[in-house]
Amino acid sequence: MIDKRIANLDEAVADVFDGATVMVGGFGEAGSPIELIHALIDQGAKDLTVVNNNTGSGEVGLAALIKAGRVSKMICSYPRTANSTVFPELYRSGRTSLDLVPQGTLAERIRAGGAGIPAFYTATSVGTPLGEGKERRTIDGRDYVLEYGLTADFALIKCRRADYHGNLLFNKTARNFAPVMATAARTTVVQTVEVVAPGELDPECVVTPGIFVDRIVTVDSPALESELVALGVSYP
Amino acid sequence: MTDATVIGLSRDEMAARAALDIPDGSYVNLGIGIPERVAAFVPEGREVIYHTENGLLGMGPSPEDGAGDPELINAGKRRVTAARGASFFHHADSFVMIRGGHIDLCVLGALQVAQNGDLANWSTGTPDAIPAVGGAMDLVAGVKRIFVITQHTTRTGEPKLVKSCTYPLTSPGVVDRIYTDLAVIDVTDDAFQVVELSPGVEFDYVRDRTGGKLLPIPETPPEVS
């Protein structure tokens, strides 16, 4: 019997430990698992390394987790977005650190991590400050740098529809990093708008197969980051 | 001729000029800012498919204000639409398209372009700045042809086309062609080659505002590829 449903958000993130590496899905607000992040704030784990493309906006979701002082390091490609003020302030005062990774390299590092590939060569960042100090190799006359696969203890992602075996469907560009993060984390926690019985999803259309998913929690009307920010909400 | 006279192309005219050079059937990635405007000017009869690196091939125009889906956005995080025949995919696949050389053309903005094609467009390198790179380095490393659209000089009149970049590089030697308010310019191994001057603009005027070696339009124009 396989049923990955978890009763509530608190239980879904209960075992996130201090010092854990946590991948968080989303590109800006699209795909951001706000309710799972808020549950993680309530849960209290600290000294986290967080992997996300951005650093959140306003004082909700990922930005609220950073503001609460729980994130000691961000691995991301673009920590500057509209309404993103929390991270710059903590970064400048030295209370959090940044590992800046080109967006495609970030996606591929996560993909490689999930695929059991420890490292790969890429042309991205050759000849730039972000390529400095990296192992280099020339292959067929072109220069490449070595990049390492990235794995995590937990992934927190959001989807539109799941079955309780963990097969997932997403909504438009909210898919972004979620499928690769699901493969790269030891424990993948999914918040879904809707959960159905196995067999109800067309196998031809499943985006993330259930083997990559460990926990499913239903959040039937997830909040939108931009709406919370517009309302001036500050979590908690 | 004085600087007080407004000469050269407007931002929309620059976008429209670049759009003329986008071949029918291309897969194209447009950067944020002036490059985004290019899509509106592609001549009728050409079918062009737009890629946005957050996971959509077949990007359509932005919906009316307040309409659309907050989970259907472009790389600039603005709401867009999905064109007929569009597809969604995850980030690793999206960058397979970019890094694997599947995208034909990318149009980007720039802080500086050097006469050898080096591009700087992600950081001014000031110590206090929060560094942010996004997909810029992946795009220029992987896309087949790189077009830059930029004002010819900064707001304070400094050349943006320079002998060598002083800002941190996005990638060395990647820019193929530059569209400025003053001219269309090809990048050769060691010089800027003027291809076309904007209406009413003299070569000397452009040369005075260019930091690197600028070559005039050849007597016999090179064949357009």
Percent of chain B having pLDDT more than 90? 86
Q: What is the pLDDT of residues B171-184, one digit of tens each?
A: 999 999 999 999 99
Q: What is the pLDDT of residues A16-67, one digit of tens each?
A: 999 999 999 999 999 999 999 999 999 999 999 999 999 999 999 999 999 9
Q: Which of residues 86-105 of B touch A (CB under 8 A)?
A: 88-92, 94-95, 98-99
Position B222 scores a pLDDT of 61
User: Does residue B202 have an active-site annotation?
Assistant: no
Q: What angle do CA B151, B157, B163 make, to 5 degrees?
A: 75
Q: What is the pLDDT of residues A185-231, one digit of tens each?
A: 999 999 999 999 999 999 999 999 999 999 999 999 999 999 999 99
B215-225 mean pLDDT: 77
Q: How many residues make up chain A in this entry?
A: 236
* Contact at CB, B137 and A124, closer than 8 angstroms: yes
Position B1 scores a pLDDT of 46
The answer to whether A45 touches A38, Cβ cutoff 8 Å, is no
* Contact at CB, B95 and A108, closer than 8 angstroms: yes
Question: What span, in angstroms and rounded, lies between the C-alpha atoms of B192 and B204?
Answer: 14
Position B5 scores a pLDDT of 63
Position A82 scores a pLDDT of 76
Tally Cβ neighbours within 10 Å of residue B31. Answer: 23
* Contact at CB, B92 and A81, closer than 8 angstroms: no
Q: What is the pLDDT of residues B64-116, one digit of tens each?
A: 988 999 999 999 999 999 999 999 999 999 999 999 999 999 999 999 999 99
Using a CB-CB distance cutoff of 8 angstroms, which residues of chain B are in contact with residue A128? 137, 168-172
Position A185 scores a pLDDT of 98
The answer to whether B132 touches A77, Cβ cutoff 8 Å, is yes
Q: What is the pTM of this model?
A: 0.95
Side by side, the strands of the sheet bearing B119-120 are B119-120, B112-114, B161-162
Using a CB-CB distance cutoff of 8 angstroms, which residues of chain A are in contact with residue B170? 128
| Most B-contacting residue of A29, A128, A193 (CB-CB within 10 A), to test interface | A128
Rg (CA), chain A: 18
Percent of chain A having pLDDT more than 90? 95
Tally Cβ neighbours within 10 Å of residue B195. Answer: 18
Position B221 scores a pLDDT of 60
| Burial category of A46 from C-beta neighbours within 10 Å (exposed 0-12, middle 13-18, buried 19 and up) | middle
